[in-house]
Chains A and B, each alone.
Chain A
């Protein structure tokens, strides 16, 4: 199993959720985060100088899925989150050792 951790623009979250639902992926955890990437935030130019806004609000979406659907989920997130401009975010894939449902104790498995 894999955890897919995507850091995206907050205003793209609805689009990403829609794409994931289309693929039958409903469960997720969403966090409000701040961060920066290679551009170190946004630089605003003024006559009196520049203001660097280095930490920009983003949302982090975490989804745990079976290995077999990982690529589909990555594609869905990318389609939903992409605007083509700097600051569209990142997707990270992490291995997950086990996944247990609290209510039933049932263990979810890849196969």
Chain B
């Protein structure tokens, strides 16, 4: 097949859109922390982007998309991108383009995990952790779902990364938070967001970038991409209004709640975007908003300092999205049926893929975090935490 210029152009743009989501996460999180940790929070996302970009071209891509080893991980055939060229293969776009597009997914995933580290992580230890995590958690999970691993062999559907990106990062953030411990003062006095408009702006970047994330995952400029684009936007809208309504019912309609609901909707539609129609996307988004809101309240009640709710929004939203894909997939969109069309096995395949990712991501993250904590120490000293990570880790001030 010769190079398809339409598809190639769309994927180039999509890769750039997903890249924008990485600092988008940084600004989203940055507005939620106290002013003294603002630079740190944004910097963590940029550090992740740089770090994972290098890891990806050196060996991460090969571990994810190299020849299958036991259904678990890729081999090292593509080490240093050897053999990956510019010539369009069967797909109609250059394999090199697929590398950079997928590399952005790896980066955004690690960036989401920084939620569990917020306002207390030692930068040097974080860099080591991030390198271990993306190699030992992200790369295998990407291989399971997309690189020819066991989950795709089982028939578990994950269109754009609900399991690989969101379940993995959400449950990893929870494990990290449990190892690193609460921020000093958590539960005693309020640790208020210092800049909500900054978080809203970060959410705008995320919502925008998500079109590249989901519609780009069609890997073509075609009707499926258009469907993914539309259901993505619709689910975000339904999630935003659902959370807004739920927070209104309990008090004031919070803008932060609304935008968290939009992210919840975006997360939940991610695995489903290429398999469901627009009607289903309204239901998926609205339920995502309510589930994630409930998960956040549950976390607060339990006194868990998974500080910026990656678990509640990405972890639980991703879990719901994986189930929802198994429920709402319709043959009219992409040839796959879900539970509603009587295909029970699809539902169980998706549930198995999602639950395996939950267990793997949580357990391996727990081990890695304990390992780094025991050797390097994940956490800054009490004084460093008190003056803030901007000054103590970067020597800079907002």
Contact = CB atoms under 8 A, between A and B. Distances in A.
A44 B189 contact: no
A13 B116 CA distance: 27
Contacts of A56: 387
A53 B387 CA distance: 8
B383 interface: yes
Contacts of A12: 189
Nearest to A57: B36
The A interface is mostly helix, strand or loop, or mixed, namely: strand
Contacts of A42: 383, 386-387
Contacts of A44: 381, 383-384, 387, 391-392
A53 B396 CA distance: 11
Given A44-B392, A51-B392, A57-B36, A14 B387 contact: no
Given A42-B386, A42-B387, A44-B387, A11 B185 contact: yes
Interface in B376-392: 381, 383-384, 386-387, 391-392
Contact of B395 (A11, A14, A51): A51
B190 interface: yes
B235 to A, nearest CB: 39
The B interface is mostly helix, strand or loop, or mixed, namely: helix
Instruction: Please tell me the size bucket of the interface on A.
Output: 10 to 19
A12 B348 CA distance: 52
Contact of B189 (A14, A51, A57): A14
A53 B391 contact: yes
A107 to B, nearest CB: 37
Contacts of B395: 51
B192 to A, nearest CB: 10
A18 to B, nearest CB: 10
Contacts of B185: 11
Interface in A1-54: 11-12, 14-15, 42, 44, 51, 53
A46 B39 CA distance: 20
Q: Lowest 4 CB-CB distances: which A-B pairs, in order?
A: A53-B387, A11-B189, A14-B189, A42-B383
Interface of A: 11-12, 14-15, 42, 44, 51, 53, 56-57
Interface of B: 36, 185, 189-190, 381, 383-384, 386-387, 391-392, 395
Given A14-B190, A15-B189, A57-B36, 10 more contacts: A11-B185, A12-B189, A14-B189, A42-B386, A44-B384, A44-B391, A51-B395, A53-B387, A53-B391, A56-B387
17 contacts: A11-B185, A12-B189, A14-B189, A15-B189, A42-B383, A44-B383, A44-B384, A44-B387, A44-B391, A44-B392, A51-B391, A51-B392, A51-B395, A53-B391, A53-B392, A56-B387, A57-B36
